[in-house]
Structure 1
Amino acid sequence: MSADSSWVDFRVVLASTGLIWYSGLWVIGIIGCREARKRYRLRPRSPLAAAPAASVPGVSILRPLKGLDTNLYENLESTFTQEYPKYELLLSVADENDQALPVARELISKYPNVNCRIIIGEEVVGVNPKVNNLIRSYREAAHDILWVIDSNVTVHSGTLARSVDALVGPPSPVPGKRRIALVHHVPFAVVTESKIGSRLEEAFLNTNHAKMYLAINTVAVDSCVMGKSNLYRRSDLERVNGSLKPLDLSNPTATRPEPCGLPAFGRFLAEDNMIAGALWHELGERHDLSCDVARNVVGNMTFSDYVWRRARWIRVRKHMVLAATLLEPFTESVVLSIICATSLRYLFGVPPWISICAHFALWIYVDLDVYASLAGHPLPAATRWQFAAAWAARELLALPIFLLAIFGSEVVWRGRAYRVLRNGEVARADKSRSWLQRFRQPKNYDPLDTEM
């Protein structure tokens, strides 16, 4: 066989592989779009909302607070108004002078019938400030079911009841089916200030991210969870430690000798993802999504904020799932359009401009359909062109941001610099070499030793 013939055969294989990869990504996108339509376009009221308090499991809602988040009053109020007969609300702040405290106290006065407490003071169990802030609330919670929800999130009044429905499951479970150990909610960005970074975040979270997030959780080959709003049982969490090594499930009371529970996850930056992974791999349980979204209120996010936020989580994922992270650029629309155009041109002689135009027309159509499903309405006409511009910019920026992020292991979070270690653990970065912290200090946060 001649060298020219071998080269032709190799190019055919390469082009065919490109089309197979491209088709596979479209299958994943369609799964995400279909799941969004199926799950979020109808949100029925849970029967638990009107049930007697004695007949439903109690829930402790844990909300960590730090400063005046955008829309803080409405975010917190959404948990005071949950249609559920048996819950308590624990608001955690690390500092007794925190600006969030007057807002919390005003809401407690407004809703005297809600069982709510403010817990002031952190307990340092690791480098993760959110975990440190939550430890006291975690230990003082009265109920086994915990709902951990960030302070920049607002939810529908029926979210808790529907989430407990999903966590507890049907009265007669299917034999052999794994128990639900965690219920989570898809983040949905709500823009209150029309900054470029805010618009980019909205375009990312409400389309491509949601589509892939839903598809991965529908296929459910592995854990994939964000921590904006999660429900799980403290009794389950007390049996895991983030090692991701399976427990001896033949012994239902088996535990690990190492520190377990929430304190064990203070060494991770992405503690939410690690908790979900531990429940999945160590206990052999699974996750579920309710038909609610976590409305993530995005405030004054600059372009730089957006870039470094995306870069931070790419660097964290790189140390947790390297192979999957390296494949990420080949799942983005721009790279996929090049793969498709090149393959179709070589195999079938299709002009690249035709395949590229068709690709992006279909891609944005699916993305907007996902947006409409999650929002409960189509994209508003008043923001149509702003959103389209942000969507295009987001797609074009995906590869440059990835390349910026992949060649580094230092991140800035809440005004502090960290080094990401193996398996997603983090350590405080040495100030003498923290060029990233000097290069870009996030707005509204001062690097104080007493910071959350």
Structure 2
Amino acid sequence: MVLFQVCVSILGIGWYISLWVISLIGCLAARKRYRLRPRSPTASLPKGSVEGVSILRPLKGLDVNLYENLESTFIQEYANFEIIFSVADPGDQAIGIVQSLMQRYPGVKSRLIVGERVVGVNPKVNNLVRSYEEATFDILWVIDSNIIMDRGALARAVDALTSTPAPRRIGLVHHVPYAVASEQSLGARIEAAFLNTNHAKMYIAINTFATESCVVGKSNLFRRSDVDIVDGSLKPLSSTRPTNTPCGFPQFSRFLAEDNMIASALWHELDLRHSLSCDVAKNIIGSLSVKDYILRRARWIRVRKHMVLAATVAEPFTESLALALILTLSAGYMFGIPPWACIMGHYIPWLWVDFDVLTSLAGQQLPRPELVPFLTAWALREMLAFPVYCYAIVGNNVQWRGATYKVLRDGEVQEIDQVDSSRPQYQPLRREI
């Protein structure tokens, strides 16, 4: 029995140290990557000297800060780009915002596509298919409507995509989300505390190791010619595949997390790698209740458990409460350290690391009046982590964009609500091998 307790304690301490190593790597990488964002030389080059980029922005309704979010793409410091906005509903309120911006910036090549084409259950993909097909350029930059980007982001992203020092070509450039709670609701503050600390820390660390694809699709830049030859099977592209295999962007409409699956397909099917930009995707969050936050977190846990089961099962053991308990039990048994010392020794540096990551992403210290609200939201996020996980892990149904879906194997989804069969359908591209 004693031997068993010793072995378990050693494993616990080993796990604890491993998570601290990952956290420190995320913290140090965030410092290096985000505290200094130099202007790209590409930003000053003339139109004929840079590759063209088609910026695709899918819209639905009046998102918080929508005018400023969309305007950030009109003022990019890059000489050769177009913007394509897409809305599914001709009566969508976002159309007026788009038209106002197009009038304000007549020198920027931009257009609006109204009307979706149904290719599957994912409404975002249905909204984007026409923009994807009609884009002028091969390089596509897909940005969610609630994201505002720095004016130098496009040039830096193109630099990362086209300048590849690694042995394998970069197939996708992505941006870590940085949340800004535009309203003082508790749910929004908890969401921002999560995205700007724990999520960012782990996301940056995983992409620093770069042993597997890990991408959030708030802002992704890739080549259409690459996506056109993948199908989401995550099997290496080879002559052994059947001929006339449906491929390309529409094939990812069967997934709810189409952004992550596109990135994984580029990684596994084409053996391409990803580059995490030094810019952040500033995610403007409107009013959220605590219930809204819980449902949002539960949705992505339920999707993720069907895509990366092992990582999802291990997730609760990476949270600070679980790690504090592991440290208390393991170090207490092995070295006789009192519980209060373990808890203090864990949480003070853990909070400091999270706060440092937030500072790196923000590019400045948190204003003093924001300190107490942040600490409150951070503590609530930590306490909610395990209950939210337990609620999410036992279910398979999620709600997104007004519809209910059942998450299936490998992250595919089935819409539970009745689908309007009168909407225009799509005939998939097929790859000839």
Q: Which residue of 2 aligns with 1:327?
A: 314
Contact 1:368/1:378 (CA < 8 Å) preserved in 2? no
Query: How far is 1:154 from its partner?
Result: 0.1
Q: Which of 232, 236, 241 pairs up with 2:226?
A: 236
- Distance in 2 separating the partners of 1:337 and 1:168: 44
Report the residue type matching 2:158 in the other structure: V
- Distance in 2 separating the partners of 1:378 and 1:339: 32
What do residues 371-425 of structure 1 show as CA deviations (whole Å, max 9, x unaligned)? 0001000111111000000000000100000000000100011111100000000
Whether 1:133 aligns to 2:127 is: yes
Unaligned runs of 5+ in 2: 424-433
Q: 1:83 to 1:396 in 2, by over 3 A?
A: same
Q: Which residue of 2 aligns with 1:248?
A: 238
Contact 1:147/1:232 (CA < 8 Å) preserved in 2? yes
List aligned pairs for 1:287-366, cutoff 5 A. Answer: 287-366=274-353
What do residues 233-266 of structure 1 show as CA deviations (whole Å, max 9, x unaligned)? 00000010100000129x9xx9963211110000
- Distance in 2 separating the partners of 1:430 and 1:352: 51
Q: Which of 215, 224, 240 pairs up with 1:225?
A: 215
Report the residue type matching 1:97 in the other structure: G
Q: Which residue of 2 aligns with 1:63?
A: 57
- Distance in 1 separating the partners of 2:138 and 2:313: 38
Report the residue type matching 1:140 in the other structure: E
Q: Which residue of 2 aligns with 1:438?
A: none
Q: 1:256 to 1:224 in 2, by over 3 A?
A: farther
SS at match of 1:266: helix
Report the residue type matching 1:15 in the other structure: S
Q: Which of 189, 202, 214 pairs up with 1:212?
A: 202
Query: How far is 1:428 from its partner?
Result: 1.1
Q: Which of 90, 107, 110 pairs up with 1:96?
A: 90
- Distance in 1 separating the partners of 2:245 and 2:344: 55
Query: How far is 1:430 from its partner?
Result: 5.8
Q: Which residue of 1 aligns with 2:6?
A: 12
Instruction: Return the TM-score normalized by structure 2.
Output: 0.95
SS at match of 1:201: helix
List aligned pairs for 1:110-259, cutoff 5 A. Answer: 110-170=104-164, 173=165, 177-248=167-238, 257-259=244-246
SS at match of 1:57: coil
Report the residue type matching 2:238 in the other structure: D
- Distance in 2 separating the partners of 1:53 and 1:97: 36
- Distance in 1 separating the partners of 2:294 and 2:416: 20
* Number of residues of Structure 1 aligned to a counterpart in Structure 2: 421
Contact 2:396/2:406 (CA < 8 Å) preserved in 1? yes
Q: Which residue of 2 aligns with 1:47?
A: 41
- Distance in 1 separating the partners of 2:242 and 2:147: 33
Query: How far is 1:213 from its partner?
Result: 0.1
SS at match of 1:139: helix
Report the residue type matching 1:338 in the other structure: L
Contact 1:240/1:256 (CA < 8 Å) preserved in 2? no
- Distance in 1 separating the partners of 2:172 and 2:189: 30
Q: Which residue of 1 aligns with 2:429?
A: none
- Distance in 1 separating the partners of 2:389 and 2:101: 42
Q: Which residue of 2 aligns with 1:379?
A: 366
- Distance in 2 separating the partners of 1:304 and 1:429: 22
What do residues 203-243 of structure 1 show as CA deviations (whole Å, max 9, x unaligned)? 00000000000000000110000000000000000010100
What do residues 170-196 of structure 1 show as CA deviations (whole Å, max 9, x unaligned)? 5xx45xx11100000000001110101
Q: Which residue of 1 aligns with 2:426?
A: none
SS at match of 1:390: helix
Query: How far is 1:429 from its partner?
Result: 1.8
- Distance in 1 separating the partners of 2:238 and 2:253: 24
- Distance in 2 separating the partners of 1:371 and 1:255: 48
- Distance in 1 separating the partners of 2:365 and 2:24: 18
- Distance in 1 separating the partners of 2:242 and 2:54: 23
Aligned residues: CA RMSD:
1.5
SS at match of 1:79: helix
What do residues 309-367 of structure 1 show as CA deviations (whole Å, max 9, x unaligned)? 00000000011111110000000000000001110000000001101111010011000
Contact 1:185/1:294 (CA < 8 Å) preserved in 2? yes
- Distance in 1 separating the partners of 2:278 and 2:313: 31
- Distance in 2 separating the partners of 1:430 and 1:190: 33
Contact 1:239/1:256 (CA < 8 Å) preserved in 2? no
Q: 1:266 to 1:425 in 2, by over 3 A?
A: same
Q: Which residue of 2 aligns with 1:439?
A: none
SS at match of 2:244: coil
The percentage of aligned residue pairs carrying the same residue is 61
What do residues 78-97 of structure 1 show as CA deviations (whole Å, max 9, x unaligned)? 00000000000000000111
User: Relative to structure 2, which stretch is displaced further, 155-164 or 258-267?
Assistant: 258-267
Q: Which residue of 2 aligns with 1:399?
A: 386
Q: Which residue of 1 aligns with 2:404?
A: 417
SS at match of 1:223: coil
- Distance in 1 separating the partners of 2:112 and 2:243: 32
Whether 1:25 aligns to 2:15 is: no
Q: 4+ runs of 1 displaced by more than 6 Å? A: none
